[in-house]
Amino acid sequence: MLFVCVENAGRSLMAEAMFNANPASGWRATSAGTQPASAPLPRTATMLREIGLELPPHPPQLVTDAMMTTSQVVVTMGCLDSASCPARLKTMDVRDWALPDPGALDDAGFREVRREIQDRVERLRLELVLLDRRRVALAETR
């Protein structure tokens, strides 16, 4: 599972932390940015602590071809624009959540983006669990 945003300083770090707090069996997430910042947004850690989570252990990092090709699922946070998105990412089968950059928002707006990420991560986790159950059921019928 790979979560990608522009700076890997807010949205994608929160998604990674949320997913890895309770991952679907056999899954692990990482996150990266198309133009990584030198550090996470200061409010990212605060907003995660409010819901009992911590920042992932890595600093903002550049998304690599290896990350993209080895990830079964790639979710972008709204970075498929021409200015910030590598051409390689645009050719892949990705899910774009098109979320606003919370760094430009006040605390209430930042929390709203966080809540939306929480909801989408939970739906994604459920989807992966159901897909795994379907695979197991199909294997058992063979």
- Cβ-proximal residues to 12 (8 Å cutoff; 6+ apart), any chain: 3, 4, 5, 31, 32, 33, 77
Confidence (pLDDT) at 135: 77
Confidence (pLDDT) at 86: 57
CATH of span 2-141: 3.40.50.2300
Q: What is the mean pLDDT of each run of 10 residues along the chain (142 residues)?
A: 94 98 93 94 97 97 92 85 56 82 95 98 94 79 76
The residue with tokens 């294997």 is 139
Q: How many helices (H) and strands (E) does the chain have?
A: 5, 4
Q: Which helix (H) or strand (E) is 118 found in, with range?
A: helix 107-141
Q: Which helix (H) or strand (E) is 11 found in, with range?
A: helix 11-21
Confidence (pLDDT) at 142: 73
The C-alpha angle with vertex 72 and arms to 69 and 77, in degrees rounded to 5, equals: 85
* Residue 31, SS3 per DSSP: strand
Domain ranges of the chain: 2-141
